Every structure is written in C-alpha cells, then in structure tokens.
C-alpha cells in the first residue's frame, strides 16, 4: 500500500501529531504549508486552528484520500492540495511550515524553505534522528558539519521532541526527531555561494587544521583561478610573483586560524575568516 521510495511512513500516534501542531504556536490568521500530508493526520489538526493550509503531496492516491477526508466539511474550503514534487513546486505565501518530511529530500527541503521570500515565521519538521542531530550540532559536537553551520547561519534551530519509530506505519528503520526552525529576519547579508564555497573547503576534513585543508593542490588551484578572475573583473594587476599558497597562509595567520580546525569553529569565526579572505581579494565562488 505504501510507497517506500516516497518515504511514506504514516504517523499513527495522535498524541505526537497533536504535539507537533501545538509546537507550531499557530494563530487563526496563519497560512500553513504542509509538505507531504499523506493521509492527512497532521492536516486535519492544523485546520482546527489555521486560516488556511496549502499541502504539497507527490502521491496522487494519498492526495485523493485527503480530499475525501475533508469533503463536504467546512474545512474543505480552507485546504488547498497541490499534487507534485515539493522540490519542483513554486511555493505560495505561508506563515508556518509543518511537515513529517519525506526523509529522502530532508536537506533540499530545508534550503528551499530558507530561500523562500517573504520569510516564514517558523517551521516544525520531523526528520530522521541523526539528520536532526546534525541540524542542531554545535562546534565540538561529533555530528557538527557543513549542514549544521549552513542552516544555523540562517536560522535558530531547536530540538523539540524525540519520536520513536513505532509511532509510524510502516515503521521506519530508525527513530525520528522533531525540530523547530526559526529563520533570522532579516537574514545575514552575505553571499551564500561564497560562504558555502569556504565551508566546502574547511569541512572536507573538519578535524584537520585549516592550513592543511587549504594547502591541497586542488583547493589552491580553485582559489588561484577565482583570484585571477576577480582581479581581471576589477581591473586589478595580477602580481608576476603571485604565490597563492603564501597569500592564503598569510590570511589564515592574520586571523590566527592556521592551526584551527573547522570542527571547533563557529559562525562568527568563519565570518571573520571570510571577511579576511575577501579583504585579500580571495573569493570562493
Ligand atoms: N504527513 C503524513 C503523516 O505524518 O502521517 C505522511 C508523512 S510521510 C513521512 C511523507 C509524505 O511525503 C508521504 O505522503 C509521501 O507521499 C510524500 N512525499 C514524498 N516525496 C515527496 C515530494 N518530493 N514532494 C511532496 N511530497 C512528497
């Protein structure tokens, strides 16, 4: 009946469903975006408070079941079901997002939400436990990674509750967790491409020193190319004696981070590092 490729694990425990919706702090004026409503266990609860729900469901059979569930009821008019792939759907305005997410799209789902404008107030999302732990991980934690820092750059992320796998049907391989994501509004005024370019370098081996991660030939090659492009676009002379490796080391030393490791650095450290690189005309995209 259920399609494993679509991550269809229906939430069976009504107390968990109620808990998720309560944590959203919905107002009667809210438009809620729900990703993957399935048979509608969360949807009907959201409709008790919210003004309107826009639900994006990929599986037409489940979408049809949800239509049936509200048919002829007053809620019907306040529910708009869009059938299709969330990642390919142009999103409407929404105040809050609630989702027992299809796990195979966890990461692109978050970034699609964070890129949407205007920014939403908060998102209550259920993920596989380890993915949720990555989202909330802080410098020094085992699971701290590029995902942690990229999401935390744009949002406050909190762990809300653990949900054991037996609360679902069919039950998945691993336990889940619910997190709350509240985007910072306005978002930090930095280029994400540039930031992520830097993160890709330093988090490849997060326990190595920054100097070691920057000294690899492939990294230096990319940085040198970017440097030359930047100089020519800005009508700047490229030194005959250009030694990109030394330039990079100088920047790392200027902020006292040559021997630092990404595993222990936080957002403020990396913002400082990125600024220092940019001051030296070194860019990451
Ligand atoms: N919300 C329901 C619940 O809590 O019982 C179902 C959650 S189930 C974990 C994930 C749902 O997302 C399924 O209904 C699945 O068909 C749907 N889905 C999977 N991939 C999707 C995608 N790319 N876009 C939209 N919906 C998707």
H or E element that contains 119: none
- Compute the distance from residue 20 Cα to the ligand 1 centre, in Å: 16
- Compute the distance from residue 101 Cα to the ligand 1 centre, in Å: 6
The set of residues, in sequence order, having a beta carbon less than 8 Å from that of 8 and lying 6+ positions away, is 2, 38, 59, 62, 102
* CA proximity to 278, closest of 243, 254, 242: 254
Distance CA(176)–CA(37), nearest Å, equals: 17
Distance (Å) of CA 262 to CA 4, 119, 194, 200, 265? 36, 29, 17, 11, 5
Name the stretches of the chain with pLDDT < 50. Answer: none
Distance CA(103)–CA(255), nearest Å, equals: 39
What's residue 187's pLDDT?
96
What's residue 104's pLDDT?
94
Ligand 1: which residue has its CA nearest to atom 11? Answer: 36
* CA proximity to 134, closest of 155, 152, 154, 160: 152
What's residue 76's pLDDT?
96
What's residue 3's pLDDT?
84
- Interface confidence (ipTM) of the complex: 0.99
Distance CA(89)–CA(170), nearest Å, equals: 27
11 lines ligand 1 (CB under 6 A): yes
Q: Which atom of ligand 1 is nearest to the CA of 99?
A: 1
What's residue 5's pLDDT?
84
100 lines ligand 1 (CB under 6 A): yes
81 lines ligand 1 (CB under 6 A): no
What's residue 255's pLDDT?
98
What's residue 4's pLDDT?
80
* CA proximity to 124, closest of 80, 94, 87: 94
Query: For the CA atoms of 98, 104, 110, 112, what is the dihedral angle to 10 degrees?
Result: -100
Distance CA(18)–CA(153), nearest Å, equals: 30
Token output for 202: 């330093």
9 lines ligand 1 (CB under 6 A): yes
Distance CA(87)–CA(258), nearest Å, equals: 39
What's residue 225's pLDDT?
96
């Amino acid at each position: 009946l259920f399609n494993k490729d679509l991550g269809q694990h229906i939430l069976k425990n009504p107390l968990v469903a109620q808990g998720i919706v309560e944590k959203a702090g919905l107002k009667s004026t809210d438009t809620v975006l729900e990703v993957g409503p399935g048979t509608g266990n969360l949807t009907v609860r959201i409709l008790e408070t919210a003004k309107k729900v826009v639900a994006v469901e990929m599986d037409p059979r489940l979408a049809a079941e949800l239509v049936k569930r509200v048919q002829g009821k007053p809620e019907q008019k306040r529910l708009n079901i869009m059938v299709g792939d969330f990642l390919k759907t142009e999103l409407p305005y929404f105040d809050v997002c609630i989702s027992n997410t299809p796990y195979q799209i966890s990461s692109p789902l978050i970034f699609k939400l964070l890129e949407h404008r205007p920014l939403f107030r908060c998102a209550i999302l259920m993920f596989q436990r380890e993915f949720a732990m990555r989202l909330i991980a802080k410098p020094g934690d085992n699971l701290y990674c590029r995902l942690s820092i990229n999401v935390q750059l744009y949002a406050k992320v909190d762990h809300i509750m653990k949900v054991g796998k037996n609360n679902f049907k069919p039950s998945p391989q691993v336990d889940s967790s619910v997190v709350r994501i509240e985007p910072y509004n306005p978002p930090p005024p930095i280029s994400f491409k540039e930031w992520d370019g830097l993160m890709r370098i330093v988090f490849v081996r997060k326990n190595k020193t920054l100097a070691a991660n920057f000294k690899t030939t492939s990294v230096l090659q990319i940085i040198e190319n970017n440097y030359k492009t930047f100089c020519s676009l800005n009508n700047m002379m490229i030194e005959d004696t250009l030694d990109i490796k030394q330039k990079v080391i100088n920047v790392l030393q200027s902020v006292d981070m040559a021997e630092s490791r990404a595993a222990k650095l936080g957002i403020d450290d990396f913002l400082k590092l990125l600024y220092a690189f940019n001051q030296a005309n070194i860019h990451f995209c």
